[in-house]
Chains A and B, each alone.
Chain A
Amino acid sequence: MKLKVDNIAFRYAEEPLFQGLSFNVAAGEFVSILGPSGCGKSTILNLLAGILAPEGGSMAVDGVPIRGMSSHFAYMPQNDLLFPWKTIMQNVCLHGRLRGNEKAARERALKLFPLFGLASYENAWPSDLSGGMRQRAAFLRTALCDADILLLDEPFGALDVISRGDMQDWLVSMKQHLGRTCLLVTHDIDEAIFLSDRILVLGGRPASIRSEYRVTEANRTRDWLYAQGELRHRLHDSIRGLETKKC
């Protein structure tokens, strides 16, 4: 098991937010955590990234317990958080710069720019880019971290519907290339179905994983997605707490 989250407890403003939160992610798996707003989806990523510390329970990567910040994770927040005073190239090489190997990062980045739809924008400022491009730049910055698990916190949540769809299509085509374990947090049911190998529904207060759905389709297309009415219905019910059976 790549990532094992076991029996996590966490309190937010004296309110218990998680109690007995447990789930696993296999190596190379794309897992989405789906849930209503305010149920603590992003908090899970913050706990894994080490920005917050759990009160109880344990987390382990490749069987080794983790505590605090760990180089296993690359965290990508909802807001692209590109530095407006740095060029796109300087932005995407941030991790390399912090690790003292900016030059190597630049070379790697240069090869990836076309794949991320950013060719010829190496020296542009973030404010020159559209929302979708900025998000792809933030994605490239995340991908250039030498982390084996990507934590994606509603990466397309700030985009309009059309750009959002384009970005989802792009990510589906990129999954193979990324070859990383991904943990995505979203409240968009379609996005979760479209991108994931497995969907975890988070709910209740204190929250825990309510149910879990596997998505096995190999050929992800929009037409396939639009035909997933039943799964969408079940996920919807599960988010609203109407159904708890596993599938």
Chain B
Amino acid sequence: MKKSSRAALPALAIIALLALWEALVRLMDIPAYVLPSPSAVLAALWEDRAALLQHSGITVAEALGGMGISLVLAVALGMLMDVSEKVKAILYPILVVTQTVPMIVLSPILILYLGFGAAPKILTVVLMCFFPIVVSFTDGMGQIAPGYVNLIRTYGGNTIQVYTLVKIPYALPALFSGLKVAATYSISGAVVGEWVASQAGIGYYLLRVKNSYALDKMFASVLVIILLSLMMNGLITLLQRLCLPHLYRKDQGRNRK
């Protein structure tokens, strides 16, 4: 299959689905408070664009803050677990258990502890994003061929150099995979936090329009959440290109002797 058609096929499928949806709403005369048509959703999006943009900014800021904290925590804890098997044996199961608690349950508790500001939202993002990052980073470092570490050692390198020169760079592609998963979660995490209690953000907007049964605006905010999540994902892909240029090098001089 050609590259262009590979990208075009899902786009076509989505357009076909939207057309079907539009046609059904119009033909069956479904009222807007039951199911708004895609065109009505787009109209609501355009009409409320100023408010949506403003709330998006707040949600994105919370998501980015949470991602940043998650990344720092994940790298620190990942290295700690890599250095000591004991630490890994203690921490890893705890990390897994934290992932089994539904965020929608945890969020109200966080608000009780941290108040109504940005802190509980950022923490919700951290709780959702930290896990995929730390797991991919730790596994990435664990899969390194021992020869690389021995090479640095026989060249007189110390433990810090083993990490900075080999282990961390080696685990970077895996770390980025984890970051991409986390990036997609990060917006949802912030929205869940806002949904529970807030004065701003897409989650707050969503809650407000839900209470007024403005279904077209609810769908519009869902669309915004999708776009923001894809944007976060794209941001990570861009970062990956900058940090790992050897994976995107031009195909020059392959198979030369």
Q: Do A and B bind each other?
A: yes
Q: Are A75 and B161 in contact (CB under 8 A)?
A: no
Q: Is the CB of B155 within 8 A of A98?
A: yes
How many contacts A-B (CB < 8 Å)? 73
A124 at the interface (CB under 8 A from B): yes
Stretch at the interface among B45-53, B124-132, B247-255: B247-255
A106 at the interface (CB under 8 A from B): no
User: Smallest Cβ distance from A50 to chain B, in angstroms?
Assistant: 7
* Closest CB in chain B relative to A66 CB, distance in Å: 13
- Asked whether, in the complex, the Cβ of B169 is within 8 Å of the Cβ of A98, the reply is no
Contact mask B213-257 → A, CB, 8 Å, 1/0?
000000000000000000000000000000010100100111111
Contacts of A139 on B, CB cut-off 8 Å? none
In B38-69, the 8 Å CB interface with A consists of none
Give the distance to chain A from B176, nearest Cβ to Cβ, in Å.
12
Is B26 on the interface with A (CB-CB < 8 A)?
no
- How far apart sit A97 and B151, CA to CA, in the bound complex (Å)? 13
B244 with A130: CB separation less than 8 A: no
Q: How does the 8 Å CB contact mask read for A126-157 relative to B, with 1 for contact and 0 for none?
A: 11111011000000000001000000000000
Residue of A nearest to B152 (CB): A98
Residues of A within 8 A of B154 (CB): 49-51, 69, 73-75
In contact, B257 and A125 (Cβ under 8 angstroms): no
Fill in one digit per residue for A84-121: 1 if any B CB lies within 8 Å of its CB, else 0: 11100000001101110000000000000000000001
- CB of A163 within 8 A of chain B? yes
Chain A: interface secondary structure? loop
Chain A 178-215 per-residue mask, 1 if CB under 8 angstroms from chain B, else 0: 00000000000000000000000000000000000000
Give Cα distance in the complex from A143 to B153, angstroms. 17
Contact B166 A83 (CB under 8 A): yes
Closest to A138 in B: B151
Distance, CA A75 to CA B154, complexed state (A): 7
In the bound assembly, the distance between CA atoms of A130 and B161 in angstroms comes to 28
Q: Which residues of chain B come closer than 8 Å to A95, judged between CB atoms?
A: 155-156
Is A79 part of the binding interface, using a Cβ–Cβ cutoff of 8 Å?
Answer: yes
Q: A77-B147, A79-B145, A84-B246 are in contact. Are A130 and B155 (CB under 8 A)?
A: no
The interface residues of chain A lying within 8 Å CB-to-CB of B161 are 98
Chain A 54-76 interface 0/1 with B at a Cβ cutoff of 8 Å (1 = within) = 00000000000000010101110
Q: Specify which chain B residues have a CB less than 8 angstroms from the CB of A81 in the assembled complex.
A: 145, 147-148, 151
Q: Which of A51, A99, A145 has the most CB of B within 10 A?
A: A51
Interface size class of B (residues with CB under 8 A): 20 to 34
| Interchain nearest-CB distance for A144 vs B (Å) | 10
Nearest-neighbour CB distance to chain A for B242, whole angstroms, equals: 13
* CB of A166 closer than 8 Å to a CB of B: yes
Of chain B, the residue at the smallest CB distance from A75 is B154
State the CA gap A73–B153 with chains docked (Å): 12
- Complex Cα gap A86–B148 (Å): 13
CB atoms of B253 and A163 under 8 A apart:
no
What A residues does B255 contact at CB under 8 A?
130
Q: Does A77 contact B151, Cβ atoms closer than 8 Å?
A: yes
Given the known interface contacts A83-B169, A125-B249, the answer about A130 and B150 at a Cβ–Cβ threshold of 8 Å is no
A163 surroundings in chain B (CB, below 8 A): 257
Pick the contact of A130: B147, B152, B172, B257 (CB < 8 A).
Answer: B257
* Residue ID in chain A nearest B169 by CB atoms: A85
Q: CA separation between A128 and B255, bound complex, in Å?
A: 7
Could you list 8 A-B pairs, sorted by A, with CB under 8 Å? A49-B154, A69-B156, A75-B154, A81-B151, A85-B172, A94-B165, A128-B254, A163-B257
Other contacts beyond A74-B154, A98-B156, A128-B252: 17, CB < 8 A? A51-B150, A51-B154, A69-B154, A75-B151, A77-B147, A77-B150, A77-B151, A83-B148, A84-B246, A85-B172, A94-B151, A94-B155, A127-B246, A130-B256, A130-B257, A145-B155, A163-B257
Chain A residues at the B interface, C-beta cutoff of 8 Å: 49-51, 69, 71, 73-75, 77, 79, 81, 83-86, 94-95, 97-99, 121, 124-130, 132-133, 145, 163, 166
> 3 nearest interchain CB pairs?
A125-B246, A75-B154, A49-B154
